Structure 1
Amino acid sequence: MAETAYGLWPLVVLNTALFGLFAASFFHPRSGRDWRAMGAFTAFLLALFTEMYGVPLTVYLLSGWLGSRFPALQPTHAGGHLFNDLVGWTGDPHLSPFHLASYLFIGAGFLLISAAWRVLHEAARTGRLAVTGPYARVRHPQYDGFLLIMIGFLLQWPTIPTLAMFPVLVVVYLRLARAEEREVAARFGKAWLAYAHRVPAFVPRPGRTPSTPSLDEPVHRQQPGGR
């Protein structure tokens, strides 16, 4: 493989499809809202892998500006590990602190999405509000999972497009979450209001896990696509 390792458009398509399908296998999208969440995540993946294997737009733009100060910042595949270049990491880029941290974020994101879906599926099966497992700490653990995965990818391969997309996607997921909450509140009434009062939306509170409502609380059926 050439040193530049770019222009590999089949790898762009293959990696975007593989990671997208892998995420879908954890997330199990069902509703239109779920597919919009998956679509936003897939757009992020496409922008990421386009620069990773297609055209290194970010490296080209920054190498002219910072190239004399950071010699490692070159339009090669290794040069795409931007944080490594900026701190002068000279070892294997896949073993740098940024890359190792990215593995933790990506793995934690996929695990969180999977754990949340199992709780949500069981809640739908029994006709109850999902309030256990990850849902005992945050109201939208699956969206948190997607954000953790994206943070992980940004740590190992930051690009101008993905850095610009990330805050936009945060707003997209926030709006999707608020729309879901309005629907769930209409179905679950007081049970949802009590749960939402105890449990934060995205960032867990430090300390003890919040208590969950009694299983005898009257609730309505929640479909797997809702949260």
Structure 2
Amino acid sequence: MDDAGASYGLWLLVFVNSAVFIIFAFSFFKPQTKRDWRSFGAFSAFVVALFTEMYGFPLTIFVLSGWLQSTWPDVDWLAHDSGHLPEMMFGWQSNPHFGPFHILSFALIGSGFWLISVAWHHLWSAQRQGRLATTGPYARIRHPQYVGFVLIMLGFLVQWPTILTLAMFPVLVWMYARLARSEEEDSYARFGETYSSYVNRVPAFIPKFASSVRGTDAR
């Protein structure tokens, strides 16, 4: 394999990309409790690990180099584009940035950002009025912001899978599920029967597409 110096070791890009995504997540997540900070810290670690391998040091490529080189001997695995492992493994011959997995990745990441942004607007409006957020994405799922974060992480995994981020992903999903349960306990205490009725109508993470949610404003 060729020298990876030209493709990696770009630590300024690691810093800039990590900072952009972490600051964006912080602006919507706004951690307050210790559990919030642990969850946000884990997401931040996921982002740093991702961009470190994308632009800094390709740990996954080095660990799997023997298997990758023997299975796909015609691929220069230290070229930056080869970090798009799904495209390489399935024999995508053109620019991997236009490959099916990369397009799917953009769709997942874009959907995640959109969901977080729209959900925050409805949550902020509800908090200002002292009511339960049941409009917009909250009319379909109870925790759209956490679902948005999971979609973003899943999108990055599809685009640039690494050993570290694949290991971290289920841990983060578990942490978000715990955080969601904790928030629901607070909502039960604050809104009582109103929240109980909302829980009976609206699923936590996966929307019901077969039937519309009644009793909520889906604007």
The TM-score normalised by the length of structure 2 is: 0.91
Aligned partner of 1:18 among 13, 17, 20: 20
Contact 2:139 2:216 in 1 (8 A): no
What is the deviation of 1:37?
A: 3.5
d(CA) in 2 for partners of 1:24, 1:48: 18
Matched with 2:203 is 200
Aligned partner of 1:88 among 88, 91, 101: 91
Contact 1:63 1:73 in 2 (8 A): no
Aligned partner of residue 68 in structure 1, secondary structure? helix
Contact 1:136 1:209 in 2 (8 A): no
- What value does the CA root-mean-square deviation take over the aligned residues? 1.7
d(CA) in 1 for partners of 2:59, 2:184: 39
Q: Which moved more, 1:38-47 or 1:84-93?
A: 38-47
What is the deviation of 1:137?
A: 0.7
Aligned-partner residue type, residue 106 of structure 2: Y
| Identical columns (%) | 57
Aligned-partner residue type, residue 63 of structure 1: S
Tell me the number of residue pairs that the alignment of Structure 1 and Structure 2 aligns. 212
d(CA) in 1 for partners of 2:76, 2:203: 41
Misfit runs of 4+, over 6 Å:
none
Matched with 1:169 is 172
Contact 1:110 1:149 in 2 (8 A): yes
Matched, 1:138 2:144: no
d(CA) in 1 for partners of 2:213, 2:96: 41
d(CA) in 1 for partners of 2:104, 2:90: 15
Contact 1:132 1:212 in 2 (8 A): no
Contact 1:9 1:54 in 2 (8 A): yes
d(CA) in 1 for partners of 2:37, 2:155: 22
d(CA) in 1 for partners of 2:30, 2:97: 32
What is the deviation of 1:63?
A: 2.0
Matched with 1:70 is 72
d(CA) in 2 for partners of 1:92, 1:17: 27
Q: Which ranges in structure 1 are unaligned for 5 or more consecutive residues?
A: 215-227
d(CA) in 2 for partners of 1:163, 1:30: 24
d(CA) in 2 for partners of 1:213, 1:112: 18
